[in-house]
Amino acid sequence: MSTGPRVYAKNLRVWVHERPDGSSRRLGYLRVGASSPTSESAAGFAGCQGGWYPVEPAGYVCVGRQATLDGTDPVVRAMETFRPRPEEKLPYLYGTVRNPGPVFQRLPGIEELREAEPDVDRRMLEWLDAGGEIGASYAQDVWTWGEPPEDPRGAWTAKLTRGVPDFLQNHGMVPNPHLSPRPPTLVLDRMRPKVGYAILDTFLHEGRRYGLTTHAELVPTDRLRPIRGSDFRGVRIGEDVEFPFAFVRHPEAKFVDASGADAGAATYRDVLRLTGKQKFFGKVLHYEVKDGRYISDRHASRLDPAKKMPGWANAGEKWIDINITKQTLMLYEGTTPVYATLVSTGEAGLASAETTTATRRGIFRIHTKHITATMASNESGEEFELRDVPYVQYFESEGYALHGAYWHDRFGMPKSRGCINLSPEDARRVFHWTDPQVPTGWHGALLPLRGTVVFIHP
């Protein structure tokens, strides 16, 4: 089915079923903008008036409100070029709300903008003049996928327009990929504090840069803090490093010499080659580094192969070993460890996962994977919404997952509300390594009871 008819997703989540029947098992889903080769005719009509059409590599989607055979559909034409980039450490562009303002569904003219944001001229000048992370000089290349951006001050002064998609020109609205209709208004919503947006692409309109979000909204990027995401990544065992080794997991870690005297600061998250010898200083265990210095086990995590291999390892399965005390993750292929890194588990450490933010311990299997998924909390005083968290892998029925964390860079220290946070690149690597695999072009996949084993222990 490499040529011929195609079926197109025009909703944020278009389910792929195992058989041409809505009651059959869900295999995964497509996101708006995705498409797949299909057949000339429907494979069935059970519970689907428009018919069930096959997609590659397996399964069927229902043609109707959420999917179409029409490649000229306005939603399809607008969104098909804006796809996630799962080969990148972050599949979208990301920013967190710094200064809440309006969310638009079309690009405003300058007078409309001043009506929607009466203080826009003053506020833009303040942003252009500000320094540090709140100003226009901070990380603006994030919005252009790392390419040099236009100078924000020059663009605003000249009221420059550049890169606006065809569907937004001449007062065009953002096509709606949601099932519920939208009012034909300029302002669709307002940003809220503690919200992280995922951006498909950005462009300049009358001097201001706007981002097209994954939910098909337009947000001024000057109201967001652009996020690069941590560049930290783990090591390939047998290629980058050999056992025994350790990660420096504490930002203020120090070395001592053979007498226990201060021997200088250790670099946070460095990989240390160890001799295998250990020594106590002040009743605290220290590991000997190959340069003769020692480092405390309170500041560094030593990694070794599992002393006793579990049954699934002896059967040759892939599996993930997560140590909460050490804040480490190791990937195994059968009995062979192949990768190791630092993570951030629940901030409550080894407390009960039933009543705190600790990570649940036990043996699990990954059952659902999303290239991205939104995570939110409505808990009083702790409200947040993070759109399209990258590389999400659920392994427990009550919402525990491995996922990338673009909003912090404290890997090696407990930080999460129970999930296992990985750096963006580590999350991407682990995501593509585990089962179930997400087929090319899909946004998520489900495989209850048969995914990769996740072993979480103290």
Do the domain assignments include residue 358?
A: yes
The per-residue pLDDT for 83 is 96
The per-residue pLDDT for 398 is 76
Can you give the CATH number for the domain in which 396 is found? 2.40.440.10
Structure tokens belonging to residue 359: 């990570």
Domain range for residue 29? Answer: 6-76
Q: What percent of the chain has pLDDT over 90?
A: 95
Same domain, 328 and 290: no
Do the domain assignments include residue 85?
A: no
Q: What is the mean pLDDT of residues 417-446?
A: 98
Whole-number Å distance between alpha carbons of 415 and 190 = 29
Contact in structure between 191 and 116 (CB atoms under 8 Å):
no
Q: How many domains does the chain have?
A: 4
Q: What percent of the chain has pLDDT over 70?
A: 98
Do the domain assignments include residue 211?
A: yes
Average predicted confidence (pLDDT) for the chain:
96
- pLDDT at residue 238 is higher than 70: yes
Whole-number Å distance between alpha carbons of 99 and 387 = 17
Which of 174, 201, 227 is the last residue in one of the domains?
A: 227
Do the domain assignments include residue 232?
A: no
Which of 285, 302, 319 is the last residue in one of the domains?
A: 302
pLDDT in tens, 400-417: 999 999 999 999 999 999
The per-residue pLDDT for 455 is 98
Q: 248-282 in b/e burial notation, b at 16+ Cβ within 10 A?
A: bbbeebbbbeeeeeebeebebbebbebeeeeeeee
Q: Read off the pLDDT band of 3 (50, 70, 90).
A: confident
H/E element, 247: strand 245-248
Q: Which residue has the higher pLDDT, 381 or 58?
A: 58
How far, CA to CA in Å, does 324 sit from each of 149, 194, 269, 424? 41, 27, 16, 19
- pLDDT at residue 1 is higher than 50: no
- DSSP conformation class of 150: P
Do the domain assignments include residue 239?
A: no
pLDDT in tens, 245-256: 999 999 999 999
Whole-number Å distance between alpha carbons of 6 and 349 = 49
Same domain, 205 and 67: no
Whole-number Å distance between alpha carbons of 60 and 52 = 6
Whole-number Å distance between alpha carbons of 116 and 8 = 35
Whole-number Å distance between alpha carbons of 258 and 287 = 11
Q: Is 392 helix (H, G, I), strand (E, B) or coil?
A: strand
Q: What is the mean pLDDT of residues 119-135?
A: 96
Same domain, 65 and 141: no
Using alpha carbons only, what angle is made at residue 396 by residues 394 and 399, rounded to the nearest 5 degrees?
65
Same domain, 347 and 445: yes
Do the domain assignments include residue 290?
A: yes
Q: Do β-strands 444-446 and 6-9 pair in parallel, antiparallel, or remain unpaired?
A: unpaired
Same domain, 153 and 272: no
The per-residue pLDDT for 397 is 78
Same domain, 330 and 297: no
Q: What is the mean pLDDT of residues 38-42?
A: 98
Same domain, 159 and 181: yes
Q: What is the mean pLDDT of residues 206-231?
A: 98
Do the domain assignments include residue 235?
A: no
Same domain, 105 and 62: no
| Residue the block writes with tokens 């995501």 | 431
Same domain, 189 and 261: no
The candidate with the shortest Cα–Cα distance to 217, out of 164, 184, 175, is 175
- pLDDT at residue 173 is higher than 70: yes
The per-residue pLDDT for 384 is 76
Q: Read off the pLDDT band of 311 (50, 70, 90).
A: very high
The candidate with the shortest Cα–Cα distance to 241, out of 274, 278, 276, is 274
Same domain, 293 and 317: no
Do the domain assignments include residue 236?
A: no
Q: Read off the pLDDT band of 378 (50, 70, 90).
A: low
- pLDDT at residue 120 is higher than 70: yes
Same domain, 153 and 214: yes
pLDDT in tens, 272-305: 999 999 999 999 999 999 999 999 999 999 999 9
Which of 227, 258, 293 is the last residue in one of the domains?
A: 227
- pLDDT at residue 21 is higher than 90: yes
- Give residues with Cβ within 8 angstroms of 305, minimum separation 6: 243, 335, 337
Q: Read off the pLDDT band of 161 (50, 70, 90).
A: very high
The per-residue pLDDT for 381 is 56
Same domain, 21 and 56: yes
Q: Read off the pLDDT band of 257 (50, 70, 90).
A: very high
